[in-house]
Chain A
Amino acid sequence: MFTEATVTFIALGAIFAYSFYAVLVAGQLSLGQAGFAGIAAFSAVALVPEPEELGELPTLLLAIVIGMVVGAVAAVVLGLPTMHLRGVFLAIATLGFAEAIRILILNMEWTGGAQGMSVPKILTPGMAWVALALVAYWFWRQGHSRYGRALEAIREDELAARAMGIDVGRHRLSAFVAAGAVAGLYGVLWAYYVRLIAPQDFAFTAAIDGLVTAVVGGSTMFLGPLLGSGFQTMIPELQRAMGIEAGWIRPFLSSLLLLVVILFLPGGLASFIPRRTRMPTTPSDEVGSDHHGLSHRRHPAEGETVAEVRGLAKEYGGVHAVRGVDLEIRSGEVVGLIGPNGAGKTTLVNMISGLVPPTSGTATVLGVPVGRTPVHKVAGAGVSRTFQHSKLFARLSALDNVLVGGHLVTRPTFLRRLLWLPSARREEREALAHAARCLNRVGLADKAATRAAGLSYGDQRRLEIARALAADPSLLILDEPAAGMNHVEAAALSDLIRSLARDGLTILFIEHNVGMVLGTCDRIVVLNFGEVLATGTPAEIATNQAVIDAYLGSADEDTTGPTTAEGAGLS
């Protein structure tokens, strides 16, 4: 059953599955890997001299280098124009690319056309498993690095990942290039094992096989592709060993098993492997202990202008969600933004945090002109936020959510983790301790290991605040943080906001709980119909007749209009 061929094909299948895993961890569905493998295999075989000249192993190594480079370059060429595509669109575009490569190979002179090329057999099972071990090691070390966490965050919620300062485009492209290089490796190894390569080896069915292997094994855990390949390779072998007749029964049973795994094991075969949750080693109550590994942001001094908004307006197809808003926020202030539903509060903070470009007007936040600056750069300047409808990374633990929040204050650790450098280990420990402190601050220290999706609603809101805090922001924007909280929780939240302000943080927050806003803020801005209705201290706002009218409504008030603004906008 475990013949030399089976053992080798398990390794090859796993390597190919890793090229799918490389992008699946970032939530990208690509089917172009067969094309990368094909072009890499044919170019490597055509360029490398016969093994008699160099010796067998050097020939293979040279071919591997060429193959991986070709695969990576092909991934860049395909990735640059297609990285903005999502989900199924990306899958189909990459699939089209792979088919185009196959047809090109089929029609070229140097590839031998449909006959293909004959290749000396060099690869031994041992070599295949060494290559597999290296690839698996790469993805194992990627897992708990800053880069790996960023990819997972992109998979869970791309927009929230951007708001945490992650350059989504760059991360997606680098995941894609890794997929290209690994697929290239697979193509070359395959070529030097099967003796004859034909364009058909890298067709659509090959891509589907690779995807199936990766998903069956589990696309969120680094051992998944290996398990998947073992499963996919061994099922036919087992059936043969059990004397099950060839023909239709074997493919039927294989497909049935595949269906069962997909339906009943959501995490793939890897969900049988217990995962250990990393917890911080330093006790989390050691506030302000050594965290010199984290980079420090220079916060604006008290009273400096943090955000300056001039004539900001946003229009959605003729509906004015926000019009002509002027606003200045100074460092150390707690500014409350209130107003009836549809007044344009969320649209205004979306513009300030760079998520939505304004139709007209300007806004400068922490020295960055928003609207023309990508979201992750605005975040990099020191703006951190929570969302009205919580946008947590649902399948990550609470602690991991906060670790992603710390993206901007930590340094990349992946490459150093590959080499087991102690500095990477130390920085990961510090990042963990930092995350634990942020969790502790919002009172979630005991929920660190819980998946975000499993938290109660109030805890989710608090976790979002902890995640935003982890970025060490200069300006913290909270969009209805107390929604759904009872008055005890809201009071605790109010205390938290005051204590953050005492630490020098500038806070802008939207809230419907007027009592809480009046008790928490230094200054309140009231929006109505997209315009600033009033600005002032809590005492001034509480007695302002226009504000009272807007909230309670007067007899002759026009009640149409504002609700559509919020519906069309980003509520």
Chain B
Amino acid sequence: MQQLFNGLFIGSIYALFAIGFTLVFGILDRLNLAHPAVFAVSAFVGIGLVEEAGLSIWVALALVFVVGAILGLLIERVAFRPLRNRPDAHFAGLISSIALAGMFIALLQAYFGPNTRRFPAGTFPDDRFELLGARVTLMQALIVVLSLGLVVALTWLVGRSRLGRAMRAIAENPTAARVLGVDVDRVTATTFAISSALGAVAGVLFAINVNSAQLGMGSAIELKGLAVIVVGGMGSLPGALVGGLLLGIAEVFAIQYIGSSWRDLIAFGLLFLILLVRPQGLFGSRKVREV
């Protein structure tokens, strides 16, 4: 039971990270490889806010959310919008977002230095309680609640709201959406902002959970994020949630029964299997090719 809970905690961080990834992919059909950099930047910014500005973690989380959104707008404006009409936009978008990520990380290093940073002790109330015979910290409970809450809110947003309808219209056909009066640029930018804000929150939670933040922390989770969105189905929000939780749980059990050195093989084994058996993912739908 304890293992199951541990899996859920780490899995919900994966899910939070992956949802940002999959949201952009679902709408633009592009991978934003600057997403992991946002993840790392926000962890450091969060530490800075708590340590140097002396803010409480709650205020810091809210501010980091805003910082993430701003970074998202920046990424869209600089790395994706100029490439929109290029025939090789697939490759070019990957590269431009990698370049932007490199710049983010370099700036991060300029400000915080290359060393591992931590949240100061006691940032987070160290309350613990028992649940179904397992020990759960308040922080872990918060991670799960926050992740689930954001996923549900986002699913509602995409499914029900006016903005969500515009997003889905663009995903279907950007030109038609534009003709029908959807402000494609603004909706796309908003999507990036939401996506990056979620990635930013995931970064802070991750740094609290493992009690460290490194410049390269984004690359470590990047591959898992990719695995999660493929397993769940590209562009599917519930898919990203279930995929993330599944991966977290599978990893925790793999460490216990197979050994920690093989842990990472789980993600890629799962990924590979899904791509072969069901390329559209668990929750994805197959797009019909047009002649």
Mask of B266-291 contacts with A, CB within 8 angstroms, 1/0: 01110110011001000000000111
Contacts of A272 in B (CB 8 A): none
Q: Check: A355 CB closer than 8 A to any chain B CB.
A: yes
Q: With CB as the reference atom, state the residue of chain B lying closest to A220.
A: B88
Contacts of A100 in B (CB 8 A): 265, 268-269, 272
- A81 touching B106 by the CB < 8 A rule? no
Q: Check: A350 CB closer than 8 A to any chain B CB.
A: yes
Mask of A9-32 contacts with B, CB within 8 angstroms, 1/0: 000000000000000100001000
| Min distance, Cβ B90 to any Cβ of chain A, angstroms | 6
- A215 touching B110 by the CB < 8 A rule? no
Q: Check: A247 CB closer than 8 A to any chain B CB.
A: yes
Contacts of A350 in B (CB 8 A): 291
Chain A binding surface SS class: helix
- A255 touching B100 by the CB < 8 A rule? yes
Contacts of A97 in B (CB 8 A): 268, 272
- A255 touching B291 by the CB < 8 A rule? no
- B102 touching A258 by the CB < 8 A rule? yes
- B95 touching A211 by the CB < 8 A rule? yes
Q: Check: B155 CB closer than 8 A to any chain A CB.
A: no
| Min distance, Cβ A509 to any Cβ of chain B, angstroms | 17
- B276 touching A81 by the CB < 8 A rule? yes
Q: Check: A395 CB closer than 8 A to any chain B CB.
A: yes
Q: Check: B169 CB closer than 8 A to any chain A CB.
A: no
- B92 touching A215 by the CB < 8 A rule? yes
Q: With CB as the reference atom, state the residue of chain A lying closest to B109.
A: A248
- B219 touching A266 by the CB < 8 A rule? no
Candidates A258, A259, A395; contact of B78 at CB < 8 Å: A259
- A215 touching B91 by the CB < 8 A rule? yes
Q: Check: A311 CB closer than 8 A to any chain B CB.
A: no
Q: With CB as the reference atom, state the residue of chain A lying closest to B78.
A: A259
Which of A81, A208, A249, A259 has the most chain B CB atoms inside 10 A of its CB?
A259
> In whole angstroms, what is the CA distance A155 to B6 when docked?
45
Q: Check: A252 CB closer than 8 A to any chain B CB.
A: yes
| Min distance, Cβ A198 to any Cβ of chain B, angstroms | 15
**Tally of A-B residue pairs with Cβ under 8 A?**
136
Please report which residues of chain B, range 162-200, place their CB below 8 angstroms from some CB of chain A when the two chains form the complex: none
Q: Check: A92 CB closer than 8 A to any chain B CB.
A: yes
Please report which residues of chain A, range 107-165, place their CB below 8 angstroms from some CB of chain B when the two chains form the complex: 107, 159
Candidates A96, A251, A256, A387; contact of B291 at CB < 8 Å: A387
Candidates A81, A254, A346; contact of B102 at CB < 8 Å: A254
> In whole angstroms, what is the CA distance A159 to B109 when docked?
47
Q: Check: B136 CB closer than 8 A to any chain A CB.
A: no
Contacts of A255 in B (CB 8 A): 99-103, 106
- A212 touching B95 by the CB < 8 A rule? yes
Say whether, besides A89-B275, A93-B271, A262-B92, A247 and B230 are in contact (CB < 8 Å): no
Mask of B79-123 contacts with A, CB within 8 angstroms, 1/0: 100110011101110111011111101110110001000000000
Contacts of A215 in B (CB 8 A): 91-92, 95
| Min distance, Cβ B106 to any Cβ of chain A, angstroms | 4
Q: Check: A103 CB closer than 8 A to any chain B CB.
A: yes
Candidates B30, B109, B291; contact of A356 at CB < 8 Å: B291
- A107 touching B261 by the CB < 8 A rule? yes
Candidates A103, A259, A387; contact of B79 at CB < 8 Å: A259
Q: Check: A62 CB closer than 8 A to any chain B CB.
A: no
Q: Check: A480 CB closer than 8 A to any chain B CB.
A: no
Say whether, besides A89-B234, A92-B271, A107-B261, A219 and B88 are in contact (CB < 8 Å): yes
> In whole angstroms, what is the CA distance A106 to B268 when docked?
15
Say whether, besides A88-B234, A92-B230, A204 and B219 are in contact (CB < 8 Å): yes
Report which B residues bind A (CB closer than 8 A): 25, 29-31, 78-79, 82-83, 86-88, 90-92, 94-96, 98-103, 105-107, 109-110, 114, 219, 222-223, 226-227, 230, 234, 261-262, 264-265, 267-269, 271-272, 275-276, 279, 289-291
24 CB < 8 A contacts A-B? A29-B94, A85-B279, A87-B29, A88-B234, A92-B271, A95-B223, A100-B265, A100-B268, A103-B262, A106-B261, A107-B262, A159-B289, A204-B223, A212-B98, A216-B95, A249-B110, A252-B103, A254-B102, A256-B99, A256-B103, A259-B78, A259-B99, A259-B100, A266-B92
